[in-house]
């Protein structure tokens, strides 16, 4: 069996390990446009901050490809899939045959059209190792950085550079920070903390146009800067499957096994959609654990096993300047919130089930209990949810439920 994988991040690694759990001998060829050994993209901000290095960013050890029997073609880009011929075309002109193919091409930074953007000499995105290296090379202790985007990518970038530049100013059309994962109350807390760390925010506002190193905001304000970072979002890389005639919505459409609408072509990670059990819809969940699990399921399926991954949930565990937060699920139904000066909790309950939660500050211990309630769809009338909201602990579950869920 000839397996081909396009991509080299969590989804690709999951696929390799899924294949090898079933098929120890099949040929695996990995094609990756980046020239680097597989690395953890979420760590690029810590690289800028000096908290990690290139060696510790590696997602698997140097011996990984050889140990797993993988021929890694790094720094080579796939240009097309020919599904009927079962071939991948490379930009070099080579043709790579496959029996089973995984597309794990991730996503690309979205750069919206902005008047005068071409006049900004030092402009950057922040998604890959090359992005981080380019930004690092441009910064000095006197740099004034203007960052467009107050979401996860933008704020991790801000954290990574704040201590090595003169100033970081952040603008976002949304009227709060982290609008995709926080409610209003938690966003106010997080913004206040980030401001105490030296960040300046212009929310409900963004750049309308640029003239060299000056940004003209929609509100009429003007900002002068030395470096511009655009972090307004990402777009799934769907073109290989779409151009080959595969079904694509916002991301590549797959079934529970990871199979696309093209024969013997699978997809995993940020380029494709997952079934979100909390919202009851198929959507892109750009999360490293989800990418790995999708890839692992696809790999097992490619190797002939009847594998399914159908219980994905959106989940984030992240920190900024020492303030940590965990979010999961969808914010549907009744909201139950409480907080003090050191922490904030919000739980979202619908039809007797926990749908989502937000935890900020000193209340993250045993958060996996809440995640299990969501993923396993545990009826809340079978647990002491009032106790769990205060202190997540196994004793809040009935003995039979504890044994079923946690083996204790």
Same domain, 225 and 127: yes
Same domain, 223 and 268: no
Q: What is the pLDDT of residues 245-302, one digit of tens each?
A: 999 999 999 999 999 999 999 999 999 999 999 988 899 998 899 999 999 999 999 9
Tell which of 217, 232, 247 closes a domain: 232
Question: In the beta sheet, which residues pair with residue 345?
Answer: 338, 359
Output the DSSP codes for 201-229. EEETB-EEEEETTEEEETTS-EEE-SEEE
Domain count, the chain: 3
- Would the pLDDT of 32 be above 60? yes
- If you average pLDDT over residues 23-47, what whole number do you get? 96
Q: What is the CATH number of the domain that holds 389?
A: 3.30.390.30
DSSP 3-state of 342? coil
Q: Could you tell me whether strands 227-230 and 123-124 are parallel, antiparallel, or unpaired per DSSP bridges? A: parallel
Q: What is the pLDDT of residues 271-281, one digit of tens each?
A: 999 999 998 88
Same domain, 268 and 338: no
- Would the pLDDT of 141 be above 60? yes
Looking at residue 250, the DSSP 8-state letter turns out to be S
Question: In the beta sheet, which residues pair with residue 273?
Answer: 284
- Would the pLDDT of 408 be above 80? no
Q: What is the pLDDT of residues 145-169, one digit of tens each?
A: 999 999 999 999 999 999 999 999 9
- Of 137 and 375, the structure prediction assigns the larger pLDDT to 137
pLDDT of residue 310: 86
Residues 6 or more apart from 202 whose CB is under 8 A from it? 169, 170, 171, 172, 217, 219, 221, 223
Same domain, 121 and 213: yes
Tell which of 269, 302, 335 closes a domain: 302
Q: Is 50 contained in some domain?
A: no
Residues 144/148/153/159 CA torsion (nearest 10 deg)? 30
Helices 10-22 and 288-302: crossing angle, nearest 10°? 30
- Would the pLDDT of 115 be above 90? yes
Q: Which CA distances in Å does 299 have to 185, 274, 320, 328?
A: 41, 16, 34, 26
Same domain, 394 and 339: yes
Q: Is 247 contained in some domain?
A: yes
Looking at residue 37, the DSSP 8-state letter turns out to be P
Domain span at 352: 322-406
Q: Is 221 contained in some domain?
A: yes
The percentage of the chain sitting over the pLDDT mark of 90, rounded to a whole number, equals: 88
Same domain, 227 and 242: no
Same domain, 104 and 240: yes
Q: Which CA distances in Å does 343 have to 75, 155, 189, 329, 359?
A: 45, 20, 9, 19, 8
Same domain, 209 and 150: yes
Same domain, 224 and 247: no
Tell which of 232, 259, 274 closes a domain: 232
| Run of H or E residues at 29 | strand 27-32
Q: Is 383 contained in some domain?
A: yes
Same domain, 275 and 328: no
Q: What angle do CA 135, 34, 19 make, to 5 degrees?
A: 135
Q: Are 303 and 295 in contact (CB under 8 A)?
A: no
Same domain, 381 and 280: no
Q: Is 362 contained in some domain?
A: yes
Same domain, 224 and 257: no
Q: Is 142 contained in some domain?
A: yes
- Would the pLDDT of 394 be above 70? no
State the Cα–Cα distance between residues 254 and 285, nearest whole angstrom.
Answer: 13
Q: Are 348 and 356 in contact (CB under 8 A)?
A: yes
pLDDT of residue 402: 55
Q: What is the CATH number of the domain that holds 81?
A: 3.50.50.60
State the Cα–Cα distance between residues 260 and 325, nearest whole angstrom.
Answer: 34
The reported pTM is: 0.92
Q: Is 47 contained in some domain?
A: no
Q: Is 311 contained in some domain?
A: no
């Amino acid at each position: 069996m000839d397996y081909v994988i396009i991509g080299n991040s969590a989804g690709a690694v999951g696929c390799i390990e899924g294949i090898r759990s079933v098929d120890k001998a099949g040929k695996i060829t990995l094609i990756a446009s980046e020239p680097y050994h597989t690395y953890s993209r979420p760590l690029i901000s810590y690289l800028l901050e000096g908290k990690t290095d290139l060696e510790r960013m590696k997602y698997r050890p140097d011996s990984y490809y050889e140990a797993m029997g993988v021929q890694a073609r790094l720094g080579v880009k796939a240009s097309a899939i020919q599904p009927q011929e079962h071939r991948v075309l490379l930009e070099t002109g080579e043709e790579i045959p496959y029996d089973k193919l995984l597309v794990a091409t991730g996503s690309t930074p979205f750069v919206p059209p902005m008047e005068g953007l071409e006049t900004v000499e030092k402009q950057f995105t922040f998604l890959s190792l090359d992005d981080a290296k380019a930004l690092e090379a441009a910064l000095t202790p006197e740099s004034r950085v203007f960052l467009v985007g107050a979401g996860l990518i933008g704020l991790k970038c801000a954290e990574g550079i704040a201590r090595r530049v003169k100033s970081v100013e952040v603008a976002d059309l949304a009227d709060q920070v982290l609008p995709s994962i926080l409610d209003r109350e938690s966003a106010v807390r997080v913004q206040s903390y980030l401001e105490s760390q030296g960040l300046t925010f212009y929310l409900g506002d963004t750049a309308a146009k640029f003239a060299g190193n000056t940004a003209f905001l929609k509100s009429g304000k003007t900002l002068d800067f030395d470096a511009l970072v655009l972090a307004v979002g990402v777009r799934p890389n769907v073109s290989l499957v779409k151009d080959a005639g595969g079904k694509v919505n916002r991301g590549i459409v797959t079934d529970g096994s990871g199979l696309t609408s093209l024969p013997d072509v699978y997809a995993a990670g940020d380029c494709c959609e997952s079934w979100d059990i909390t919202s009851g819809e198929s959507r892109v969940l750009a999360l490293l654990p989800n990418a790995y699990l999708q890839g692992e399921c696809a790999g097992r399926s490619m190797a002939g096993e009847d594998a399914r991954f159908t219980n994905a949930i959106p989940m984030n565990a992240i920190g900024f300047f020492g303030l940590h937060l965990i979010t999961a699920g969808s914010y549907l139904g009744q909201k139950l919130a409480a907080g003090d000066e050191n922490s904030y909790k919000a739980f979202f309950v619908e039809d007797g089930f926990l749908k989502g939660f937000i935890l900020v500050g000193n209340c993250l211990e045993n958060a996996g209990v809440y995640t299990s309630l969501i993923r396993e769809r545990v009826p809340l009338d079978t647990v002491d949810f009032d106790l769990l909201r205060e202190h997540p602990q196994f004793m809040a579950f009935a003995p039979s439920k504890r044994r079923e869920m946690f083996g204790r």
